[in-house]
C-alpha cells in the first residue's frame, strides 16, 4: 500500500512518522512545498532573542534521515497541481504523476499577501533562515522601528524578543483580541503587561500595504517603520492530534478520542496566560448556556515575598460540567492549565475540581489551592447556595459592601459604598441595613465569598457576590 501525505510542516511529519510506527511495510511519501523540512516554529523567537544560539538546533530530521530512520520518501520543494481522486493520482510540480492508495492532505497555512514596494524590508518568520535574516538586519541598524503582523503566541514572543533587543515594536492584528483564544476580559491582563513593557498594540486593523518608510492601515493610519515582520501562527496542538488520528485510521487503529479540546499557553515579559476547553465565543456559537466565575487569589502563600496574583475564569454548566478555564498570572499558570485540561478531557465537574488533590508547597500553592476554591464556589452556585451579580446590576437603593482593607478600598462611581474590612465585619453588622439588596466586593472573589457566608448566617438574605474580573494590580 502506498500512502501519500501532503504535508504542512510539523503536521505532515507527525502524520508520516506516526503512521510508520503502526505500519512498517507500506510505502509512505511526504510531499513538502518548502525546500526544507519543518523547523520547531515555537523556537524561532528564542533564536531571535539569543536563547537558542544555533539555528540548526531547531531543525529536526533531514530528508535523508527520514529515509534512513523511518523509511519515508520525502519530496522537498514539491507542490501538488491536481488531485485525481477517481484514478488515485497526484500531478506534482514538474508534470510528474504519483499514484496512491491512501491520501492525507494536511491543513495548509494561509500565505499572507500584502502589497509591498520594491526594497521594503519585510520578512515572514517561517523558518530559521528567515530568522537569521532578521537578526542580520537588526545588527545593521540600531533603534529599529519594527512592525509585527500577527496575533498568536509566536507573534507575542517575537515582540518580546525584539523589545529586549532594543527595538521599538508595534504589534498589529486584524483580530480584536490578542491572543484570539482568550476572552476579552482575560486578554486585558496580558495586553496591559505587554503595553507596560513598551509595545504598541493595535487590534482590529489590517495592513493594506508596506511602503518604504511606513505601513498603511485600512483605517488610513500610517505607521513609521524600518522593518516589518509577518508572523504566521504555529501549528495548533489540535492539528497535531488530528494528524495522528488520521494516521491511526489509515493504519486500522480506530481510536475513539475527542480532539476538540483546545489547550493554549503563552508567556511574555514574565506574564503568562493560558486557556483550555471552550471560551465564551465558542460556547455562544453552539448556543450553549453557561455560567462564569472569576477568582483572583495568590499563586502561593501570602507570606512568600514573591507571591503574585493569579486570576482565573471558569466556564461551566448549571449541572456542574466544566466547559473551559482561562488563567493569568506570573507563576503557576502552566501547571494548573494542564491539570484542568486533563479534568475537562475526562468530563470532570466543578465538584471534582473542589475535591481535586493538589500538592501543597508555599511558593507554588496555598493550603487550599486556587483550583479547589474555584471548584467550591462554582459548586455552590450550581446548588443555589451562592448568588452572584455584576456591578451593572446594582440599582438605586442597593448597597455595595466593599470588604477590602482601607488601603485597597476605592469608591465605585455612582454606587452607595460601605467599606467594612472583612476582619471587622462581625463587629460592624449594625451598619448594614436589613431588607436591602447587598452586593459584596472583596480583594478577589474569595474575600467577598467569606463575607457572604458570614452575612448569610446573620440573617441577611438579599445577598449577591460581585462576580467580575478584578482589574487592579
CB atoms within 10 A of CB 151: 23
The C-alpha cell that represents 348 in the structure block = 470532570
DSSP H or E stretch at residue 3:
strand 2-6
As a residue count, the chain comes to: 473
Note down pLDDT in tens along the chain; length 473 residues. Answer: 999 999 777 888 889 999 999 999 999 999 988 877 777 778 888 888 888 888 888 887 888 999 999 999 999 888 888 999 899 999 988 889 999 999 988 876 555 556 566 555 788 888 888 888 888 888 877 668 899 998 889 999 999 999 988 899 999 999 999 999 999 999 999 999 999 999 999 999 988 888 878 888 999 898 888 888 988 876 666 677 778 888 888 888 765 555 568 899 999 999 999 999 999 999 999 999 999 999 999 888 888 888 888 999 999 999 999 999 999 999 999 999 999 999 999 999 999 999 999 998 988 888 889 999 999 999 999 999 999 999 999 998 899 999 988 766 666 554 558 889 999 999 999 989 888 999 999 887 889 999 999 999 999 999 999 999 877 65
Instruction: Please confirm whether the linkage preceding 172 is cis (ω < 30° from 0).
Output: no
**Signed CA dihedral, 137, 142, 146, 151: sign only:** positive
Per DSSP, 302 falls in state T
Q: Is 459 exposed, middle or buried (0-12, 13-18, 19+ CB in 10 A)?
A: exposed
Beta-ladder partners of 325: 276, 314
pTM for the full model? Answer: 0.86
Are 20 and 249 spatial neighbours (Cβ–Cβ below 8 Å)? no
pLDDT value for 282: 92
Q: How many CB atoms sit inside 10 A of residue 168's CB?
A: 17
CA distance 176 to 143: 29
pLDDT for res 407 = 65
- For the chain, which domains are there? 2-109+237-250 (3.50.50.60), 115-230 (3.50.50.60), 263-382 (3.50.50.60), 388-466 (3.40.250.10)
H or E element in which residue 206 lies: none
Separation between Cα atoms, residue 360 and residue 440, nearest integer Å? 29
pLDDT of residue 317: 96
Amino acid at each position: 500500500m502506498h500512502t501519500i501525505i501532503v504535508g504542512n510542516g510539523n503536521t505532515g511529519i507527525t502524520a508520516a512518522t506516526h503512521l510508520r510506527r503502526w505500519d512498517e511495510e507500506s510505502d509512505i511519501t511526504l510531499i513538502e512545498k518548502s525546500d526544507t523540512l519543518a523547523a520547531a516554529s515555537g523556537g524561532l523567537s528564542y533564536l531571535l532573542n539569543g536563547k537558542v544560539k544555533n539555528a540548526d538546533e531547531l531543525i529536526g530530521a533531514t530528508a535523508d534521515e527520514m529515509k534512513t530512520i523511518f523509511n519515508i520518501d520525502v519530496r522537498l520543494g514539491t507542490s501538488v497541481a491536481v488531485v485525481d481522486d477517481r484514478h488515485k493520482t497526484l500531478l506534482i510540480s514538474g508534470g510528474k504523476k504519483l499514484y496512491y492508495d491512501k491520501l492525507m492532505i494536511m491543513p495548509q497555512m494561509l500565505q499572507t499577501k500584502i502589497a509591498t514596494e520594491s526594497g521594503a524590508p519585510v520578512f515572514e518568520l517561517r523558518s530559521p533562515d528567515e530568522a537569521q535574516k532578521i537578526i542580520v538586519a537588526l545588527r545593521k541598524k540600531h533603534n529599529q522601528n519594527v512592525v509585527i503582523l500577527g496575533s498568536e503566541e509566536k507573534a507575542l514572543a517575537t515582540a518580546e524578543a525584539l523589545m529586549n533587543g532594543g527595538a521599538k515594536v508595534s504589534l498589529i492584528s486584524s483580530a480584536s483580541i490578542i491572543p484570539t483564544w482568550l476572552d476579552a476580559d482575560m486578554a486585558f491582563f496580558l495586553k496591559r503587561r505587554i503595553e507596560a513593557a513598551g509595545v504598541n498594540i493595535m487590534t482590529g486593523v489590517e495592513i493594506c500595504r508596506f511602503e518604504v518608510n511606513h505601513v498603511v492601515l485600512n483605517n488610513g493610519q500610517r505607521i513609521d517603520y524600518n522593518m516589518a515582520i509577518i508572523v504566521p501562527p504555529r501549528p495548533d496542538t489540535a492539528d497535531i492530534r488530528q494528524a495522528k488520528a488520521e494516521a491511526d485510521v489509515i493504519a486500522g487503529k480506530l481510536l475513539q478520542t475527542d480532539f476538540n479540546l483546545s489547550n493554549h499557553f503563552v508567556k511574555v515579559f514574565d506574564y503568562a496566560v493560558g486557556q483550555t476547553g471552550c471560551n465564551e465565543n465558542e460556547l455562544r456559537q453552539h448556543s450553549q448556556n453557561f455560567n462564569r466565575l472569576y477568582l483572583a487569589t495568590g499563586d502561593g502563600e501570602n507570606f512568600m515575598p514573591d507571591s503574585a496574583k493569579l486570576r482565573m475564569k471558569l466556564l461551566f454548566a448549571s449541572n456542574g460540567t466544566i466547559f473551559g478555564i482561562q488563567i493569568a498570572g506570573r507563576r503557576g499558570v502552566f501547571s494548573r492549565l494542564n491539570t484542568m485540561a486533563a479534568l475537562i478531557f475526562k468530563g470532570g465537574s466543578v465538584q471534582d475540581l473542589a475535591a481535586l488533590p493538589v500538592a501543597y508547597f508555599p511558593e507554588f500553592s496555598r493550603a487550599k489551592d486556587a483550583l479547589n476554591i474555584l471548584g467550591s464556589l462554582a459548586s455552590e452556585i450550581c446548588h443555589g447556595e451562592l448568588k452572584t451579580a455584576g456591578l451593572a446590576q446594582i440599582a438605586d437603593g442597593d448597597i455595595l459592601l466593599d470588604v477590602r482593607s482601607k488601603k485597597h478600598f476605592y469608591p465605585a462611581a455612582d454606587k452607595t459604598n460601605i467599606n467594612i474590612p472583612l476582619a471587622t465585619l462581625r463587629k460592624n453588622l449594625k451598619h448594614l441595613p436589613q431588607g436591602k439588596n447587598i452586593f459584596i466586593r472583596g480583594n478577589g472573589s474569595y474575600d467577598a465569598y467569606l463575607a457572604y457566608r458570614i452575612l448569610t448566617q446573620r440573617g441577611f438574605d438579599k445577598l449577591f457576590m460581585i462576580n467580575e474580573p478584578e482589574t487592579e494590580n
